[in-house]
């Protein structure tokens, strides 16, 4: 059902936790399945220097949260904003169709955190 990469990011998630006094925080959820993702950013000179997540949800939700943090670290805000949920799924070697709509919210959470950072910076 799940790829080896999904299982690896689920059983050994990267970048779990919170960033105190984060520069940006984004939270998204899906009421139909109960998955909730929160992404925390530390930004320096327009580059994502640190990124962490806290996710309540299924294995796919945890795996996609872990993967987006790996994909976003070191990118400029503009580069991170073009990351998509589809790109996250592809980086994990795919997700079951039933998990795409509810569990793969990771890029949405990242975008929300970036937008939160931009709002606070204005």
Give per-residue pLDDT as tens, 12-56. 999 999 999 999 999 999 877 788 999 999 999 999 999 999 999
Residues forming a β-bridge with 42: 50
Q: Tens digit of pLDDT for each residue in 51-92?
A: 999 999 989 999 999 999 999 999 999 999 999 999 999 999
Q: Exactly one of 33, 36, 47, 87 is catalytic; which is it?
A: 33
Question: Which CATH number does 4-121 carry?
Answer: 3.90.1010.10
Q: Exactly one of 41, 48, 102, 107 is catalytic; which is it?
A: 102
What local confidence, expressed as pLDDT, does residue 68 receive? 97
Q: What is the CA radius of gyration of the chain?
A: 13
What local confidence, expressed as pLDDT, does residue 3 receive? 94
The reported pTM is 0.94
Two structure tokens written together for 49: 């220097």
SS3 41: strand
Alpha carbons 73 and 104: distance in angstroms, whole number: 18
Q: Tens digit of pLDDT for each residue in 94-121?
A: 998 888 776 679 999 999 999 999 999 8
What local confidence, expressed as pLDDT, does residue 102 receive? 65
Alpha carbons 113 and 108: distance in angstroms, whole number: 9
Alpha carbons 34 and 8: distance in angstroms, whole number: 22
What local confidence, expressed as pLDDT, does residue 104 receive? 78
Q: Reply yes or no on whether 58 is catalytic.
A: no
Q: Reply yes or no on whether 102 is catalytic.
A: yes
CB atoms within 10 A of CB 28: 18
């Amino acid at each position: 059902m799940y790829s080896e990469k999904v299982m690896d990011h689920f059983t050994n998630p990267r970048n779990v936790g919170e960033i105190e006094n984060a520069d940006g925080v984004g939270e998204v959820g899906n009421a139909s399945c109960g998955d909730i993702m929160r992404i925390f950013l530390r930004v320096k000179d327009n580059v994502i220097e640190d990124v962490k997540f806290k996710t309540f949800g299924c294995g796919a939700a945890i795996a996609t949260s872990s993967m987006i943090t790996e994909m976003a670290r070191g990118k400029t805000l503009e580069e991170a904003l073009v990351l998509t949920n589809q790109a996250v799924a592809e980086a994990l070697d795919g997700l079951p169709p039933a998990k795409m709509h509810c569990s793969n919210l990771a890029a949405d959470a990242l975008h929300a955190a970036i937008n939160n950072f931009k709002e606070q910076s204005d």
